[in-house]
Structures are given as C-alpha cells and as structure tokens.
Amino acid sequence: MYFSLQVVGVTNNTGRKRDVAASFSDATDGYLEGNVLKQGADLEQLVNWCSDATCALDVATGAGHVAGSLADAGVSRVVASDLSPAMVRTATDEYRGLEGVAVDAERLPFSADQFDAVTCRFAAHHFPDPEAFLAEVERVLEPGGMFAFEDLCVPADPELAAYVNRIERLRDSGHVETYSRGQWLDWLDATGLTVETVHETSRELEVDAWLNRMAVPEEDRQRIRSLLSDAPADLETAFEFQYEADGDRLASYQTGVVLLHVTA
C-alpha cells in the first residue's frame, strides 16, 4: 500500500488548501459516519459507471466511501487520494486493499493515461480552480476511460446561487463555490472529454446533522439558521424546505446534486 503523509504538488492557493486539509482532518468521524456520504443510489450509480475498471483513482476521497465501494465491486487497484492526510488514513484504515496518497486535486502526481477510471464525489466545491482539476482528470485518464463525477449544484439564478454559497461558506471554511449544472457542462465542453450522461437530482439534508458534520460553532449555527429562515421564496421552493412541527424551525431540505458520466 502506498500512503504518503505529505501533501504532494500543491499549486496555487497553497495557504487556503492547507487550511482546507486541516479543517477536514478535524472532521474525519463526521464524514466516515454520515449517511448522506456512506450510502445511496447516487453512490451506487458512480460505482456502476466504473465497475469494469481495473485501475481507478478516487479524487478527494474523504472517508473513502467511493474508493472502498469500487474495491468491493471488483476494481483490482484503487488509489484513494485527498488533500487531507488524515482523510486518506481514515479511508485506508476503513477499507482494505486501497492505496492512499495525500495530493492536490489540481496537480495530480500521476503519469498521463495511468487510470481507466477517475471518480470524484461531493468534493469539487472545495477546489479553487475547477478547470485545472478537469484538465488533470483528462490527463491521467487513458483513452476510453471513465470519469464519474458528483457534486452539489446550485440553481442557475445567480442571486440564488450566491445565497446558497454564502450559507455553505459559513458552515465550512473550506467551501469555495458550488456551481450550477450548466457551469460544469460548459467547463467539460472546453476539454477533450465527452459527457455521456447528465443526471440532476437532490439529497435530503437534515440541518442539525449537516451542521454537526463540520462541528459548526454555535454563533455560526445561529447565523446559518437565520439565513435559512430568511431565504428567498424561490430557494425555499426549489430546495423543498421541511419544517418541524412548530412550523418555525427548519428540519431538512433537498439540496441540488448533479451526477456526470464522462468518457475520455
């Protein structure tokens, strides 16, 4: 097993990326046990797209749910990579047979055409330069290889998107930006990769569990809940806000999610 405790090849935004790595090092338990991440039809779909692979790279693996599922599906070699060494250690401890390396998603230390599958799930909103990330995916994928991607997505309306990202940054200091489905498709269109399938869906987030996963301080929790209470009506409708019995406290909402099946 290869497991580097160094953050390899960090490019621009070095200080910010090290802060992200540190923040996620403090959140490994929440990511390992969180039901939103460890199970679901979306996870099964990503793995199914890559089930015929022999050598897969999971970028920003977090607690290793995708990497471990790929290994369980029979992919003979799976590399779990993440900016946070603690996350990589969690993934390789939890799932047998994974190789682990702490790397920058925007500067992958792998040879061209090295993998026949690359995955990335619920992570790209932490990347300062998504286009650099996609260029690296294209470089390390062999011709005909699969890229299975999933992330949060925001409405196309710029004002609603900005409101969502304001809340997300309060919750998670490492959050850069969540993008719309259209933005991801535009970026992919500028690469040599081909989008085969686009699936936009949603995932229910229980607000308390969502805040607990990043151990959000009480002051920021109150600010987030205030923003959710004052959210534009269009966002409340789009995200299907569900309130507790008293009708005042938000219990859960449906966050936007996009899945992309891409070939090299």
Of 35-44, 119-128, 213-222, the one with minimum mean pLDDT is 35-44
Whether 247 is in a domain gets the answer no
For the cut 60, the answer to whether the pLDDT of residue 260 exceeds it is yes
Q: Is 192 exposed, middle or buried (0-12, 13-18, 19+ CB in 10 A)?
A: exposed
Whether 80 is in a domain gets the answer yes
The count of domains in the chain is 1
**pLDDT tens-digit readout, 82-112:** 999 999 999 999 999 999 999 999 999 999 9
What mean pLDDT comes out for the span 7-27? 51
Alpha carbon of 219 to those of 213, 223, 224, 225, 228: distances in Å?
16, 6, 9, 10, 14
Whether 9 is in a domain gets the answer yes
How far apart are the C-alpha atoms of 66 and 240, rounded to whole Å? Answer: 27
Whether 41 is in a domain gets the answer yes
Whether 216 is in a domain gets the answer no
**pLDDT tens-digit readout, 178-214:** 999 999 999 999 999 999 999 999 999 999 999 998 8
Whether 219 is in a domain gets the answer no
Check residues 42 and 12 and name the one with the higher pLDDT.
Answer: 42
Token duo for residue 174: 């490492």
Full domain range(s) for residue 190: 3-154+174-203+258-263
Whether 233 is in a domain gets the answer no
Angle at the Cα of 257 from the Cα atoms of 255 and 259, rounded to 5 degrees: 170
What mean pLDDT comes out for the span 133-147? 98
Token duo for residue 53: 């692979």
Whether 82 is in a domain gets the answer yes
Q: Domain of 41: which CATH number?
A: 3.40.50.150
Look at residue 246 in the predicted model and tell me its pLDDT: 82
Q: Identify residue 217 by its one-letter amino acid code.
A: P
How far apart are the C-alpha atoms of 104 and 43, rounded to whole Å? Answer: 23
Taking the complete model, does pTM exceed 0.75, yes or no? yes
- Sign of the dihedral through C-alpha 99, 103, 106, 107: negative
**Are the CB atoms for 52 and 70 separated by under 8 Å?**
no
**Are the CB atoms for 80 and 100 separated by under 8 Å?**
yes
Look at residue 12 in the predicted model and tell me its pLDDT: 57
- The helix or strand, by DSSP H or E, that contains position 121, with its residue range, turns out to be strand 115-121
